[in-house]
A = this chain, B = another copy of it.
Amino acid sequence: MRRRRLEPDARREQILSVAIRLFGSKPYADVSTTDVARDAGVARGLVNHYFGTKKDLYLEVVRVMLTVPEVALEQLPEGELPERADSIVSWFLDVVSRHSTSWLAATGAGGMAGDADVNAVIAEAVDVAAAGVLRAVGMGEDPSPALRGMTRSYVGLAIWTAQEWLQRGVLTREQVHVLLSTALVAMVEQAFPQAV
């Protein structure tokens, strides 16, 4: 039997990439650690050695899937609210359409929603997105819990709308953009003031 011995970091990275591919295409229960090990050309025990339990591996996968480049989010236009809203919506749609499959699989929690740890990882990513939205609309300074909650709700709207666009294909990007922009403006002007 020919074994190949790799640096721990390299092996871990290789197994993780295989896991990302599998968990991105099938729900959690339909991916066995045996599948991951086989596709990685490795004994199943090695997967546990590097990642602990199967759920731990899945958590790593979701973390990677939801990690998003927030560089372009730095330079936001200084215009009025509608322009700012357009800008943040465009950024969101760009990100989501680029990583569509993996991103949608992760936010849909491909078969592990409801689990406390998985929820925590998703919630953290949603928090990051919500913080970006709040900064974009000029309310990013020390937001109250209620305000952050409302913004997370808006991110939920964005996720669902993206699904209608990218998975169901019943909406055009233009329609999605209009919907998310108008909703954001309306919420900022009328609902958010109630949550200062």
Interface positions of A (Cβ within 8 A of B): 27-29, 105, 108-115, 145-146, 148-150, 152-157, 159-161, 163-164, 168, 170-172, 174-175, 178-179, 182-183, 185-187, 190-191, 194-195
Is the pair B179, A187 in contact by a Cβ cutoff of 8 Å? Answer: yes
Are A146 and B161 in contact, CB atoms less than 8 angstroms apart?
A: no
List 12 additional contacts besides A109-B113, A174-B194, A183-B187; criterion CB under 8 Å: A108-B113, A146-B170, A149-B170, A150-B164, A150-B171, A153-B157, A155-B160, A156-B160, A175-B191, A175-B194, A178-B190, A179-B187
Cβ B114 vs Cβ A105 within 8 A: yes
Does A115 lie within 8 Å of B27, measured CB to CB?
A: yes
Within the oligomer, what is the number of copies of this chain? 2
Interface of A is mostly: helix
Contact B27 A114 (CB under 8 A): yes
Task: Assess whether A111 is in contact with B115, with CB atoms less than 8 Å apart.
Answer: yes
- In chain B, what residue has the closest Cβ to A147? B170
- Complex interface: chain B residues within 8 A of A112 (CB): 27, 29, 111, 113-114
- Which of A27, A149, A195 gathers most chain B CB within 10 Å? A149
Which one of B156, B164, B175 lies within 8 Å of A157 (CB-CB)? B156
